[in-house]
Structure formats: structure tokens, C-alpha cells
Amino acid sequence: MGGSMGFLGKGVPPTQMMNMVMGSLYKQFTQKAINNFDDFHVAVLDIFNNFNSALPGRHFDFPTPEEIKDCFVRWKEAKDEEEKKKVFVEFITKRVSPSKLDDVTLITGIVSPPAAMAAKRAGENVPQLKLIKLIPDVIFVPTVTILAIVSAKLSRRMYLK
């Protein structure tokens, strides 16, 4: 694989690639009818939603409504299309930040599968929980892991507010 990449050359320079991506994003952004702040807000959120649905693994945090409002004001004040594009590209490059995984979620995700297996094995010997033998491990462990992560995130949000 490395030999074939060397044969093909160095590829597209990063700045040129960034300009192509931002150009296509701006084109997608301007295809929507933007008459007021609500239209602008929906268009920006749609772009971030596309980022999160198109890119596997890493997700990006949405900007706050205040940040979007500030960008809308600057975008509306821009005189020509080129200046509007510059405001938009600057906003996207500053505000596209990967969401961070907190330690609680990470630890819960690591500890939950072995704990689920241990709980299932222990539950199989309890007469009241004999029904647990009918559930395959392939279904039980991921379900318990997802429920543990969701409950950890929800409880964390409740305590932080």
C-alpha cells in the first residue's frame, strides 16, 4: 500500500483540500433560502448534523445559539458574496471542535461488559432469575453496556445542573 501511495505522489495539499471542503460546505449552505436568523440557524445546524452523520467515530459539538447569532449578524452585514463566504468559513473553522469523551463514560464503557457477564453468571444460579439463561450473551452484554453508559451520562447531566 505504501509503495502505491508513493507512486501516486503526495496527493492534494492540505490547504487546497480545506478550500475544496469549505467551498462545498458553503455551496450546500447557500442552497437553502436564508431570510432570517431561524433559517440561518437551521442551515448551520444541518451542516453540523451532516458532519456527525457522515464521519464515523468522531463527533463534533454544535455551536451555541449566541455564537450562531453573532455569525449571522456578521454574515448579514457582509457586503458581497465573497465576504459572506469568508465570514462563514471563519466561523466553521473556529467552531468545529470534536466532542470530548469524559472519564466517567470511558470507564463505564470499559467496566460494564465484564460486570455484565459476571452478573449474568451469578444470576443464572439464582432460582428467581433462571429466565436470564434464555438471553444470549451476544444480546445481554451490549444491552447492559449501553444502559450503563446512558445512565452514567444522564446521572452526570443531572448532577452537573
> Which pLDDT tens digit goes with each residue over 57-112?
556 677 788 888 888 888 888 888 888 888 887 887 777 666 666 678 888 889 99
On the question of pLDDT at 13 being above 70, the answer is no
- What are the two backbone dihedrals, phi and then psi, of residue 16, each rounded to the nearest 5 degrees? -65, -40
pTM above 0.75, yes or no: no
3: burial class by Cβ within 10 Å (0-12, 13-18, 19+)? exposed
Residues in the chain: 161
**Residue tagged 439464582 (cell numbers):** 126
Q: Which whole-number Å values give the CA distances from 43 to 26, 55, 91, 93, 123, in the listed order? A: 10, 18, 13, 16, 50
d(CA 56, CA 37): 30
88: burial class by Cβ within 10 Å (0-12, 13-18, 19+)? buried
**Residue 91 has what pLDDT?**
82
Cα 38–Cα 34–Cα 16 angle in degrees, nearest 5: 115
Find which of 16-20, 39-43, 90-94 is predicted with most confidence, using mean pLDDT.
39-43
**Residue 138 has what pLDDT?**
92
